[in-house]
Structure 1
Amino acid sequence: MHTEIIDLNGQSFFLRRWGKPDLQPLLMLHGFPEYGGAWSDLAPHLANHFHCIAPDQRGYGQSWCPKGVGNYTVSQLVSDMAALIEQVGTPIYVLGHDWGASVAYGLAMFRPDLVSSLIIANGVHPVPFQRAMAIGGAQSEASQYINALRAPDAAARFSADNFARLEQFFRFGMGVDWLSDDRMQDYRTEWARPGRLEAMLNWYRASPLVVAKPGEPRTDLPELPLERLMVRCPHLLLWGPDDKALLPEATAGLEEFAPNLTRIEVPDTDHWLHHQKTKAVAQAILEWVRD
């Protein structure tokens, strides 16, 4: 692995790279509460085929961390990664997980000139996800944690006692056998960087998506420009079926927005499939690329 700091739109971003620079680039976008180092399990299994590039995204790890919710809208997060792709060379493969999937979808939808193929691992397109969260059913119930993360005092609460609540959130209902004590300390080190946890939470606060209370459907939803939310490049959706945060209904109807979609379920995995079954995830990606 090689690390470096680069300039994107006038700001500093920390990158990790695996694989030879002359290979096909693969941009790997982490989610919450991870950072670019989260790809250190999967990237080595892809590095013979791809030049893997894993940034700490805005507000995370060792990258630029501006203050204020307004600095964490999806359009700005996408702009960061668009600038990175423009430096690397276009178009490239993009892989996103969790919140990284939201940025990856944003790139594919709003900068299709930069994305040759889109790979999502347990992440969601905004329209099916918003529909599922607004109904007041199972996904609404599963998404109630978003309200806790958006709360004004969330950073103080989740960082107390050496990030005890954030660790509990990380582990809740998921298979985390991969999360050793040493790795957990690596995460705490990244979370403890000045201002980082507040910035990470600002990703949730800046999102316009609405979460209904269980049994209370919402109709006051943000207007989404459906015609602009199409993913026209080849799209692979990898899914850990035991995910407790993102349920299958969160991807219902995705084909409406991604006509060139392939779905692959990775058995015996949940939200952290890229850690739990790294070889199976890598194999699914490589076989799809070769088809």
Structure 2
Amino acid sequence: MPDAFTLTSIPLATGVTLDVATAGDPAHPPMILLHGFPESHRTWRHVIPQLARDHFVIAPDQRGFARSSKPEGIEAYKPAHLVADLLALADHFGLTTFTLVGHDWGGAIAWMAALHNPARITRLVIVNAPHPFIFQKTLFDDMAQRDASQYITAFRNPDFEAHIARIGLPAFFESSFLRHTDFEKIADEKPIYLDQWGQPGAMTAMLNWYRASAIIVPAMDETPTRPAFLDGTFPPMPQPVLVVWGLGDAALLPSQLEGLERYVPSLTLVKVDAGHFVPWENPDAVVAAIRGWLPR
């Protein structure tokens, strides 16, 4: 079945060019979808056509992924640059306001972008992406979450690309995805992802998202100095937020939902039957949650 969206290469004012999937009538309310690691707009392939019935849907391959621009150096992947890409993309389409949806790393950028730009991002949808303050706090206080997040340290290792080269991209596909999802649900996508990851510089660029992040991941045998800000306050999210959470997530544990309402005053939480890659595994549940939450 052909994809129900158009993929276009769009140069942005931030100096990068992104491949961007679009679908729906541009006159309809706009919605931007941000994918996570190690994915692309393909994350949303079953979600886009359903949302596009009454929304103008925009789903970029973010910088570093697939065939989008891959600037050199870790600095180029700091969250501020990724948020700037998002806003520049909205500017390109002339969007003054929009609903933002993010999964995994796309959700991390969505949390940050929405917090600082409530005049533009009027509603926020998060799909299995931890609130930044809660995530950092649990990496110090919840040993199970710390253990589940040790892969971040591995991804930050400058020798990790050499490890992938040794085992091959197909083996990395199996280790990165198959431990977290049902292969039957993504088997048809394997050649597409292997092609995207095999683009020159793609693997380093994708891993640089982790290397550029300020998140602290203590080792399991470490008793680290606790940052003072973890016992302080964190600004509340200013807009309505829908959190869709796959309960089978082995990378992000239930501690990510504990106390979330303290930081998200207008919170709607929908728990669904899925693992971490919810938009792949249960796209209908994601769409139903969004449709049930958006104002008529």
Same-fold call, TM cutoff 0.5: yes
The alpha-carbon deviation at position 214 of structure 1 amounts to: 3.0
Post-superposition CA distance 1:221-277 (Å, at most 9, x none)? 48589767431111000000010000111232222221111100012x110111111
State the match for 1:31 in structure 2.
36
The alpha-carbon deviation at position 135 of structure 1 amounts to: 2.0
Does structure 1 residue 50 correspond to structure 2 residue 55? yes
State the match for 2:183 in structure 1.
176
Does structure 1 residue 198 correspond to structure 2 residue 207? no
Task: Give ranges in structure 1 of 5+ residues lacking alignment.
Answer: none
In 1, the alpha carbon distance for the partners of 2:204 and 2:73 equals 9
Does structure 1 residue 272 correspond to structure 2 residue 280? no
In 2, the alpha carbon distance for the partners of 1:110 and 1:226 equals 19
Q: Which amino acid aligns with 1:241?
A: L
Post-superposition CA distance 1:79-124 (Å, at most 9, x none)? 1101112233121000000000011111101122220100000001
Count of residues in correspondence between the two structures: 289
Q: Secondary structure at the match of 1:113?
A: coil
Q: 1:114 aligned to 120, 130, 133, which one?
A: 120
Q: Is the 8 A contact 2:180 2:277 kept in 1?
A: no
In 1, the alpha carbon distance for the partners of 2:87 and 2:77 equals 15
Does structure 1 residue 5 correspond to structure 2 residue 12? no
In 1, the alpha carbon distance for the partners of 2:144 and 2:99 equals 33
In 1, the alpha carbon distance for the partners of 2:231 and 2:30 equals 30
In 1, the alpha carbon distance for the partners of 2:224 and 2:129 equals 22
Q: Which amino acid aligns with 1:45?
A: Q
State the match for 1:218 in structure 2.
224
Q: Is the 8 A contact 2:23 2:48 kept in 1?
A: yes
Runs of 4+, deviation exceeding 6 Å: 224-228
Does structure 1 residue 68 correspond to structure 2 residue 68? no
Q: Is the 8 A contact 2:126 2:242 kept in 1?
A: yes
Q: For the structure 1 residues 176 and 237, does the alpha-carbon distance in structure 2 shift closer, same or farther, using more than 3 Å as the test?
A: farther
Q: Which amino acid aligns with 1:211?
A: V
Q: For the structure 1 residues 136 and 70, does the alpha-carbon distance in structure 2 shift closer, same or farther, using more than 3 Å as the test?
A: same
Q: Which amino acid aligns with 1:207?
A: S
Does structure 1 residue 187 correspond to structure 2 residue 179? no
Q: 1:18 aligned to 12, 19, 23, which one?
A: 23
Q: Is the 8 A contact 2:170 2:194 kept in 1?
A: no
The alpha-carbon deviation at position 212 of structure 1 amounts to: 2.2
* Structure-2-length-normalised TM-score: 0.92
The alpha-carbon deviation at position 220 of structure 1 amounts to: 4.2
State the match for 1:87 in structure 2.
92
Does structure 1 residue 288 correspond to structure 2 residue 293? yes
In 1, the alpha carbon distance for the partners of 2:65 and 2:218 equals 28
Task: Give ranges in structure 2 of 5+ residues lacking alignment.
Answer: none
Q: Secondary structure at the match of 1:65?
A: coil
The alpha-carbon deviation at position 11 of structure 1 amounts to: 2.4
Pairwise CA RMSD of aligned residues?
Answer: 1.9
In 2, the alpha carbon distance for the partners of 1:27 and 1:119 equals 10
Q: Which amino acid aligns with 2:199?
A: R
In 2, the alpha carbon distance for the partners of 1:16 and 1:5 equals 9
In 1, the alpha carbon distance for the partners of 2:182 and 2:18 equals 31
Q: For the structure 1 residues 130 and 255, does the alpha-carbon distance in structure 2 shift closer, same or farther, using more than 3 Å as the test?
A: same
In 2, the alpha carbon distance for the partners of 1:40 and 1:202 equals 25
Q: Is the 8 A contact 1:174 1:243 kept in 2?
A: no
State the match for 1:256 in structure 2.
262
Post-superposition CA distance 1:196-219 (Å, at most 9, x none)? 110100000111111123364433
State the match for 1:143 in structure 2.
149
Determine what percentage of the aligned residue pairs are the same residue. 35
Q: Secondary structure at the match of 2:294?
A: helix
The alpha-carbon deviation at position 49 of structure 1 amounts to: 1.9
Q: For the structure 1 residues 224 and 59, does the alpha-carbon distance in structure 2 shift closer, same or farther, using more than 3 Å as the test?
A: farther
Q: Secondary structure at the match of 2:183?
A: coil
